[in-house]
Amino acid sequence: MSHLLSDSQVMVGRCLRRSVRDPEAFFTALVLPVILLLLFVYVFGGAIAHGGAYVNYVVPGLIVLCAGFGAGTTAVAVATDMSSGIVERFRSLPIAAPTMLLGQVTASLVRNLVATAIVIAAGLAVGWRPSASVLGWLGAVAMIVLLIFAMSWLAAAVGLLARGAEAASSFMLLIMFLPYASTAFVKADTMPAVLRAFASHQPFTPIIETMRGLWMGHTDTGASTGHEALIALAWTIGVLVTGVGVASWCLVRRREAR
């Protein structure tokens, strides 16, 4: 047990090294956020009717979008590990099985927080002006950390369940596209009825609205920030518990199946 910390440290170090050396993970974490921001603000933004500067609307949506891409990277990384011989080596060592996942999840957290910071910085640079107090900022950041943590565990679970990297990446594609059918980029009331119903009730909407409420002082759905935050918390904690549960079940099952 006393080694848990140093083992995890080594695993985190390994995963961070791999992230830095993986051009795709590097691109997803550092370059993609900027490209997406510029794309939405300057290419689509002009055409999207919105009272005020579009950047003031779109930042929370972009953060969620980037978190989706980041989760994709994580799922692929876990699936790649699981299908390679290195897992057998780790399992033959006197270390706790979950430390492997802890490394992946922590690296995922770091990559996605960097991506989020880049979205925020780039947003501020092109004119995003949140009206939030320090407390509001803290709340928004806490929401982001919880979201990324939950999505990283979900991605780890998907990576463990998937047979190979391709399968993991195609499943994660669903999650990457989910934000488009939310209030991330346009208001729900501009959508056709069925889609609007979906957008209003899917998990990303309350998460985005919580950030929007905290940063801009008002949500886009008309509901109070506190109301949205409660639903957002329920979703993220639900996803987190599911992710951790499924991942643990996979680890146990792997141990027993062989």
Partner 1 sequence: MSYTVSAQAITKSFGGRPALDGVDLDIESGSVLALLGPNGAGKTTMVRILATLSRPDSGTATVAGHDLLADPVAVKRRVSLTGQFVALDDVLTGRENLEMMGRLLHLSRARARQRAAALLTEFELSDAADRRVGTYSGGMKRRLDLAISMIERPELLFLDEPTTGLDPRSREGLWATIGRLVEDGVTVLLTTQYLDEADRLADQVAVLDGGRIVARGTPEELKARLGGGVRVRLQYADEVAYRAACDALDPVIADEQTLRLELLTSGTATDVHELLGDLERTGASAYRVAIDGPSLDDVFLSLTGAPSSTSTLEVSR
Q: Does 192 bind partner 1 (CB under 8 A)?
A: no
The single-letter DSSP state of residue 50 is: -
Taking Cα atoms as reference points, which of 258, 257, 256, 243 lies closest to residue 78?
243
Considering the complex, state which of residue 18 and residue 50 has its C-beta at the smaller distance from partner 1. 18
Task: Find the binder of partner 1 among 46, 94, 192, 222 (CB under 8 A).
Answer: 94
Q: Does 191 bind partner 1 (CB under 8 A)?
A: no
Q: Does 23 bind partner 1 (CB under 8 A)?
A: no
Considering the complex, state which of residue 1 and residue 134 has its C-beta at the smaller distance from partner 1. 1
Angle between helices 134-161 and 55-82 (to 10 degrees): 30
- What secondary structure does DSSP assign to 226-245, as a single string? HHHHHHHHHHHHHHHHHHHH
Shortest Cβ distance from residue 244 to partner 1 (Å)?
Answer: 23
Task: Find the binder of partner 1 among 16, 22, 113, 117 (CB under 8 A).
Answer: 22
Task: Find the binder of partner 1 among 5, 17, 27, 170 (CB under 8 A).
Answer: 17
Q: Does 135 bind partner 1 (CB under 8 A)?
A: no
Listed in sequence order, the residues at least 6 apart from 50 whose beta carbon sits closer than 8 Å to its beta carbon are 57, 187
Q: Does 7 bind partner 1 (CB under 8 A)?
A: yes
Cβ atoms within 10 Å, residue 110: 17
Site string for partner 1, 217-246 (x = CB under 8 A): ------------------------------
Q: Does 95 bind partner 1 (CB under 8 A)?
A: yes
The single-letter DSSP state of residue 52 is: S
Listed in sequence order, the residues at least 6 apart from 161 whose beta carbon sits closer than 8 Å to its beta carbon are 246, 250
Shortest Cβ distance from residue 81 to partner 1 (Å)?
Answer: 9
Taking Cα atoms as reference points, which of 180, 176, 170 lies closest to residue 70?
176
Q: Does 90 bind partner 1 (CB under 8 A)?
A: yes
Q: Does 1 bind partner 1 (CB under 8 A)?
A: no
Task: Find the binder of partner 1 among 26, 50, 53, 91 (CB under 8 A).
Answer: 91
CA distances to 12, 92, 96, 105, 126 from 85, in Å? 19, 11, 17, 20, 46
Shortest Cβ distance from residue 85 to partner 1 (Å)?
Answer: 4
Cβ atoms within 10 Å, residue 165: 19
Task: Find the binder of partner 1 among 92, 135, 192, 193 (CB under 8 A).
Answer: 92
Residues making contact with partner 1 (CB under 8 A): 3, 6-7, 10, 13-14, 17-18, 21-22, 84-95, 256, 258
